[in-house]
Amino acid sequence: MSILPLLPLLPLLASAPTPLTVVEYASTPNGFTTPPRGFNSFGLQVNTGAQPSFAFNQSSILTQARALVANTPASLLSSGDYYISLDSGWSVGCNGDEYGRIIDDTTKFNISDLASTLHGMGLKLGVYVVPGIFSGDGDKTIEGTDISIKDTWGGHDNGLCRTDFDYGKEGVQQWHDSVVGLFADWGVDLIKLDYVTPGSPSPGGATLQPNTSGSVIAFHNAIEKVGRPIRLNISWKLERNASFFDIWEANADSMRTDQDLNAQGGDKLVDWPTTQRAIENYRQFISTVIQDDHLPLTIHPDLDNAFIGNAENVTSVSDAMRTTIATHWLASGANLISGSDFTNLDDLGKKLLTLPEAWVDVANFTARYPMQARNPGTGQNSSQQLQAWIAGPDESGDAVVVLVNYGPDQGQGGFNTSLEGTQNVTATWADLGITGSYDVRNVWESEDLGTFDGQISAQLDEGESQLLRFQRSS
């Protein structure tokens, strides 16, 4: 990395940099100040060739959990932020217990036993749910009431063995209270609420109701009552207009900003085109937050699982691209839950998942200050192949900066350019919205780069990036 001569100001006059608005996270509705970390099962569930010995059951989940603990320093695990999150398929598919509550499929899991075991390992447990109540449970009575389940229905069958609620009816909140109360008794620490609309596209065989935002409110209200810290993560690719964003931000701890990132079948976990799309959706998300003045922000983005732990023959993206994924997930203050096979981490995967400078210093900073796009050459926030981002600066003037070359747009990146090979990426202080001198450190290389004043540059190949810590020079 080197300092290049300052660019002349004249070409910038036609498109002056936008003044920097520092984005800051506040405590989430359920009381969390950091995003969750850990493992989610879905990537290994659907990409079966990536880890043929993985079966979605308690034994395989505990194998992943033990591998995560073995490969993660105790100093990181002691944060209490590490979760083992079960995705779809852990529960009985089309009916609940005598009160219509969601229950575990005992041929695969004993949830209370699993939670106890994970807690003993210093980990927490997450489970997956969708809106609505089982269509076959209509004649059952909601726990603690004399309300028949069918009297809470709105009449719409969503194709997932469930009928949607009429959220204005008595009994709807009581049912959510009973479910979350059962989860709390089991020891559940995180609820992933999927297929929330508006936003989620209807999957094959399902017909999602246009608006199930009431489920988010009901689960949040139930969490408030149980007296146990439980995260509420909602998905997928949720509507970001002001009306619904206000609901998400008032009730959930994180929200998915994109569709599924995994490669959807086969023996690889992820690909670069969908990664470009996920990053572009985050750019849109954080730009909207600034534009609509949702500050401070009380909900974290979820860019989906970070597939960074395994070598290219499993993950299918290059080492540079894996590093870029890790950089963007960390710098955005997003959920840091991985879909990687923790039993098969390579050396780079271990570093990307555990390097203290990234997972303590940077992550603690960006859990308060997420990054935003600042286009090289203009300081605007549009989609670009050669991009710069800044998180902060904080009260001391310190910041995190990312320089990146996404490579040619593969159809979903949003920037529609195809610059091939190594490119120079230069961001001036005017682009970034800062002033003064900074001591700069390359985080992944654990290397001090020196003191910079005015601009910074990097030669970056396709898919390559640099994660930089900026500390105000004395």
One DSSP character per residue, 135-197 reads GGGTTSB-TTS--BGGGGEEEEE-SSSEEEE-TTSTTHHHHHHHHHHHHHHHT--EEEE-S-T
200-205: list long-range contacts, CB under 8 Å, 24+ apart.
200/235, 200/236, 200/237, 200/238, 201/237, 201/259, 202/159, 205/159
Q: What's the whole-number mean pLDDT along residues 436-460?
A: 98
pLDDT at 105: 97
Which tokens in the block code for residue 394? 């904080």
The yes-or-no answer on residue 194 being catalytic is yes
Q: Where are the domains of the chain?
A: 1-20+374-474, 26-370
As a whole number of angstroms, the longest Cα–Cα distance in the chain is 76
1-20+374-474 CATH pick, 3.30.420.40, 2.60.40.1180, 2.60.450.10, 3.40.50.300: 2.60.40.1180
Give, for 439, the enclosing helix (H) or strand (E): strand 438-442
Burial 195-216 (b: 16+ CB within 10 A, else e): bbbbbbeeeeebebbebbbbbb
**pLDDT above 90 (res 206):** no
Give residue 15's pLDDT. Answer: 60
Catalytic residue selected from 87, 137, 189, 260: 260
Name the band, by pLDDT with cuts 50, 70 and 90, for residue 8. very low
Tens digit of pLDDT for each residue in 297-314? Answer: 999 999 999 999 999 999
pLDDT digits (tens, 9 = 90+) for 111-161: 999 999 999 999 999 999 999 999 999 999 999 999 999 999 998 999 899
Question: From the candidates 194, 258, 409, 431, which is the catalytic residue?
Answer: 194
The answer to whether 373 and 287 have CB atoms below 8 angstroms apart is yes
CA distance linking residue 450 with residue 470, whole number of Å = 10
Q: What confidence score (pLDDT) does residue 333 get?
A: 98
**3-class SS at 205?**
coil
Q: Is 260 a catalytic residue?
A: yes
Instruction: Spell out the alpha helix ranges (H) of 426-468.
Output: 429-432
Residue 254 vs residues 91, 206, 267: alpha-carbon distances, Å: 23, 24, 29
| 34 Cβ contact partners less than 8 Å away, ≥ 6 residues apart | 79, 81, 363, 364, 367
Distance CA 452, CA 465 (A): 18
pLDDT at residue 14 is higher than 50: no
> Is CATH 3.90.700.10 the classification given to domain 26-370?
no
339 in Cβ contact with 269 (< 8 Å): yes
